[in-house]
């Protein structure tokens, strides 16, 4: 077994590898760029080596720098994580020339499967079901339109060397095909240094299901069940689960055996994933093979009990697999949410900055399930514009699918992040979505369920009662504490009215509050005549100023995020964001008379939706634009975002030009 390994990666996956290596008694070496000097993976590793500027092309993607770091520290092997150099055939070959072991598949398997065009040809030879399409290279946008017409719309335009949702576009007509081809090729060049593109038929209402395979250097290959990854946005996975609610045992076995056949055909000898697009009728077609550890590997680990990172290390060291296919048993259900630094209220545009608060839920057993959080950040750390916007992967495991979903919802409610925008409100909304909970999924789920973009859930029913009760309990505890402050002025003690009015947004609910600090708080809902309607008992160890109210409401476990407002609190619960104020009856009457400040009219401006680099400006001063016309392209976190005209108009002035870095809400252009 290796004594020391180097992790040629950053962020949460570097931290994940370090944890397993530490448990195995293996020393670890981290590498870092200027932007990651204070990163968590640098702190966790036994040693760390600086490898260059923030840009990945000058640091994490430079093979010679990784080899030099291995020689400097005496690392015997390298784990590539995912992304960066993990699927570059040249990387393990270069390592081998210097006597360094690559913790991953052999270069031949990477070459055969890493190129999506060649992998489809190999899959066809191995008698694996494949999607109809054109596997030759495509020279330009006009050629792409010809090919797409032959295949038949809609089509998927994909980078041959792609991954992680980069360099992918769906086109429903010739115009979208030409535009998608240019964008996919540009993203592919920037992300992978390879701008080759291919086109295949896009399956209507598809599901994305992948099989985890594991092979060793002695010819043994097994599959570890499947993962459902259909909840995607812009071809980027958002929520994954294992197993899939679609598959039966017969289909699972058929997919698994095809995945193993493909892996065997290319001599695969590590952890890898064979991805399929599946129809609602359980038909399935080979999509691609990822010759690396997947981002979503934790859900497989939780339902099988297999540490995939450990297996990769043992296989790389020459050990045979200790398990056979018959030993693989699927236990319970696991759900993973990817927590991204992006603003769901602004069409999920990237958000960067400092994590002024980062308080994940407690990991470990919870009720009948388990909570796990894989992360590479810490409170006070910075989310950089140079890398992927992932903050953490929150994973829950329970005996059944709905139990795992409910545990995930509870854990998301308990995940407090401030300083940047993040997608937790969106994720918690999905956990309450009836279609998601039913398991009747497709890759079009987000577009179908959120056609106008993300809109927070509206407080109603039991959720509204919970927010009212928690707001009243927080206010009551604050009042009770203030009554106990020593050295107050003499005279009669202040008496706080037990009857209060809780305003949740525009809704108002009269309540009666009882209880002391250290004992349950009783909240009684009152009707318009002041008569009792419903009585709720709240138990919590919450202390004013904490970012999270955790406790029980009538025996139900509840977590509500709490942020202070002027004379109130901003509460977040189950995808609901609600400004709450607790008044006396007279205060409520006066508050209802207060004018509402209208937001400034910015409809005549195109604002930069996130901090980023202006890649292109498509219009000039005086130009007529139509709704939907592209106006500018902004790049952030390796993704190019096309900003389009919302309505017809005339460009009055252009305030920015290509090459400039802009802050969020900076003016790009003004309309007449």
Do the Cβ atoms of 71 and 29 come closer than 8 Å?
A: no
Question: Which CATH code for domain 605-671?
Answer: 2.40.50.100
Sequence-separated (6 or more) residues with CB below 8 Å from residue 283: 129
Q: What is the pLDDT of residues 140-154, one digit of tens each?
A: 999 999 999 998 899
Distances 403 to 339, 397, 431, 460, 466 between C-alpha atoms, Å: 20, 8, 11, 23, 20
Q: Which of 72-76, 195-199, 317-321, 348-352 has the lowest mean pLDDT?
A: 348-352
Q: Which residues pair with 394 in a beta bridge?
A: 337, 373
CA distance linking residue 671 with residue 278, whole number of Å: 46
Q: Which residues pair with 397 in a beta bridge?
A: 334, 370
Query: Which tokens sit at 492?
Result: 């009669």
pLDDT, average across residues 380-387 = 90
For the chain, the structural domain boundaries read: 4-103, 127-131+204-331, 133-201, 338-444, 461-482+496-591, 605-671
- What is the average pLDDT value for the chain, to the nearest integer? 93
The H or E element spanning position 5 is: strand 4-7
Q: Which residues are the active-site residues?
A: 288
Q: How many Cα atoms occupy the beta-carbon half-sphere of 611 within 13 Å?
A: 14
Q: Is the pLDDT of residue 195 over 90?
A: no
CATH 3.30.700.30 describes domain 461-482+496-591: yes
CA distance linking residue 599 with residue 120, whole number of Å: 53
Q: Is the pLDDT of residue 519 over 80?
A: yes
Q: How confident is the model at residue 494 (pLDDT cuts 50, 70, 90)?
A: low
Q: What is the pLDDT of residues 62-111, one digit of tens each?
A: 999 999 999 999 999 999 999 999 999 999 999 999 999 999 999 999 99
Give backbone dihedrals phi and psi of 155, rounded to 5 degrees, phi first: -125, 155
Distances 231 to 21, 29, 274, 631, 637 between C-alpha atoms, Å: 31, 35, 18, 29, 21
Question: How deeply is 45 buried, as exposed, middle or buried, from its count of CB atoms within 10 A (0-12, 13-18, 19+)?
Answer: buried
119, 296, 128: which is closest to 208 by C-alpha? 296
Higher pLDDT, 18 or 139: 18
Sequence-separated (6 or more) residues with CB below 8 Å from residue 665: 607, 608, 609
Q: How confident is the model at residue 164 (pLDDT cuts 50, 70, 90)?
A: low
Q: Do domains 127-131+204-331 and 338-444 have the same CATH topology?
A: yes
Name the CATH superfamily housing domain 338-444: ATP-grasp fold, B domain (3.30.470.20)
Sequence-separated (6 or more) residues with CB below 8 Å from residue 535: 522, 523, 524, 525
Specify the 3-state DSSP secondary structure of 633.
strand
Name the CATH superfamily housing domain 127-131+204-331: ATP-grasp fold, B domain (3.30.470.20)
pLDDT at 612: 83
Q: How confident is the model at residue 388 (pLDDT cuts 50, 70, 90)?
A: confident
CA distance linking residue 401 with residue 383, whole number of Å: 32
CA distance linking residue 500 with residue 472, whole number of Å: 8
pLDDT at 107: 96
pLDDT at 536: 97
Q: Is the pLDDT of residue 233 over 80?
A: yes
Q: How confident is the model at residue 390 (pLDDT cuts 50, 70, 90)?
A: very high
Q: What is the pLDDT of residues 423-478, one digit of tens each?
A: 999 999 999 999 999 999 999 999 999 998 998 899 999 999 999 999 999 999 98
Q: How far is CA 524 from the centre of its chain?
A: 39
Do the Cβ atoms of 415 and 394 come closer than 8 Å?
A: yes
pLDDT at 193: 83
Q: How far is CA 588 from the centre of its chain?
A: 41
Query: Which tokens sit at 628?
Result: 């939907």
Q: What is the pLDDT of residues 591-638, one digit of tens each?
A: 989 888 887 888 899 999 888 889 999 999 999 999 999 999 998 766
pLDDT at 624: 94
CATH topology of domain 4-103: Rossmann fold (3.40.50)
Diameter over CA atoms, the chain: 91
Do the Cβ atoms of 129 and 286 come closer than 8 Å?
A: yes
Distances 424 to 123, 142, 259, 411, 656 between C-alpha atoms, Å: 38, 41, 34, 10, 32
pLDDT, average across residues 523-541 = 94
pLDDT at 190: 83
Give backbone dihedrals phi and psi of 431, rounded to 5 degrees, phi first: -60, -20
CA distance linking residue 60 with residue 69, whole number of Å: 11
Question: Which CATH code for domain 133-201?
Answer: 3.30.1490.20
pLDDT at 638: 65
CA distance linking residue 437 with residue 334, whole number of Å: 13
Q: How confident is the model at residue 500 (pLDDT cuts 50, 70, 90)?
A: very high
* pTM for this prediction: 0.85
pLDDT, average across residues 548-561 = 96
């Amino acid at each position: 077994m290796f004594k020391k390994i180097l992790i040629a990666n950053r962020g949460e996956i570097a931290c994940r590898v370090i944890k397993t290596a530490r448990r195995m008694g293996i020393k670890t070496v981290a590498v870092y760029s200027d932007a990651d000097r204070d990163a968590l993976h640098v702190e966790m590793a036994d040693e760390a080596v600086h490898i260059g500027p923030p840009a990945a092309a000058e640091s994490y993607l430079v093979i010679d720098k990784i080899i030099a770091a291995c020689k400097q520290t005496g690392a015997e092997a390298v784990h590539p994580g995912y992304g960066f150099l993990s699927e570059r055939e040249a990387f393990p070959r270069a390592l081998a020339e210097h006597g360094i072991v690559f913790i991953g598949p052999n270069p031949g398997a990477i070459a055969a499967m890493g190129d999506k065009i060649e992998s489809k040809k190999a899959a066809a030879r191995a008698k694996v079901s494949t999607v109809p399409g054109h596997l030759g290279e495509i020279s330009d946008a006009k050629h792409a339109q010809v090919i797409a017409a032959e295949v038949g719309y809609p089509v998927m335009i994909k980078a041959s060397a792609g991954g992680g949702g980069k360099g992918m576009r769906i086109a429903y007509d010739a115009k979208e095909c030409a535009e998608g081809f240019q964008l996919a090729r540009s993203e592919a060049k920037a992300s992978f240094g390879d701008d080759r593109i291919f086109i295949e038929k896009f399956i209507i209402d598809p599901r994305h299901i992948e099989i985890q395979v594991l092979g060793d250097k002695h010819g043994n290959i097994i599959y570890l069940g499947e993962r459902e990854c259909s909840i995607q946005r812009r071809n980027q996975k958002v929520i994954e689960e294992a197993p899939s609610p679609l598959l039966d045992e017969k289909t699972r076995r058929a997919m698994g055996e095809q995945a193993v056949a493909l892996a065997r055909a290319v001599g695969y000898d590590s952890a890898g994933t064979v991805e399929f697009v599946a129809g609602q009728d359980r038909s399935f077609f080979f999509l691609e093979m990822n010759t690396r550890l997947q981002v979503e590997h934790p859900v497989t680990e939780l339902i099988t009990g297999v540490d995939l990172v450990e297996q990769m290390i043992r296989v790389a060291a020459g050990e045979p697999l200790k398990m056979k296919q018959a030993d693989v048993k699927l236990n319970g259900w696991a759900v993973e949410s990817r927590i991204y630094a992006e603003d769901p209220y602004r069409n999920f545009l990237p958000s960067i900055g400092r994590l002024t608060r980062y308080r994940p839920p407690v990991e470990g057993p919870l009720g009948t399930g388990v909570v796990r959080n894989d992360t590479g950040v810490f409170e006070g750390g910075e989310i950089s514009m140079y890398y992927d916007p992932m903050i953490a992967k929150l994973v829950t495991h329970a005996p059944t699918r709905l139990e795992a979903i409910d545990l995930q919802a509870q854990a998301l409610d308990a995940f407090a992040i401030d300083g940047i925008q993040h997608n937790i409100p969106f994720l918690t909304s999905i956990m309450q979505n009836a279609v998601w909970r039913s398991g009747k999924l497709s890759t079009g789920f987000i577009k179908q369920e959120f056609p106008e973009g993300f809109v927070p859930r509206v407080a109603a029913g039991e959720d509204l009662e919970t927010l009212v009760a928690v707001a009243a309990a927080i206010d009551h505890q604050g009042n009770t504490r203030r009554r106990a402050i020593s050295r107050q002025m003499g005279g009669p003690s202040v008496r706080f009215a037990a009857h209060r009015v809780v305003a949740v947004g525009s809704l108002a609910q009269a309540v009666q509050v009882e209880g002391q600090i250290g004992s349950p708080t009783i909240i009684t809902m009152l009707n318009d005549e002041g008569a009792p309607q419903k009585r709720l008992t709240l138990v919590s160890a919450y202390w004013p100023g904490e970012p999270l109210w955790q406790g029980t409401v009538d025996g139900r476990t509840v977590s509500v995020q709490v942020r202070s407002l002027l004379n109130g609190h901003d509460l977040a619960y189950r995808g609901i964001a609600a400004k709450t104020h607790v008044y006396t009856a007279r205060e409520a009457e006066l508050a209802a008379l207060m004018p509402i400040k209208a937001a400034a009219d910015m409809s005549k401006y195109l604002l930069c939706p996130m901090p980023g680099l202006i890649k292109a400006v498509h219009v000039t001063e005086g130009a007529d634009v139509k709704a939907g016309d592209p106006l500018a392209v902004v790049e952030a976190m390796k993704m190019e975002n096309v900003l389009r005209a919302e309505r017809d108009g005339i460009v009055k002035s252009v305030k920015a030009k290509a090459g400039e870095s802009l802050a969020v809400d900076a003016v790009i252009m003004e309309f007449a």
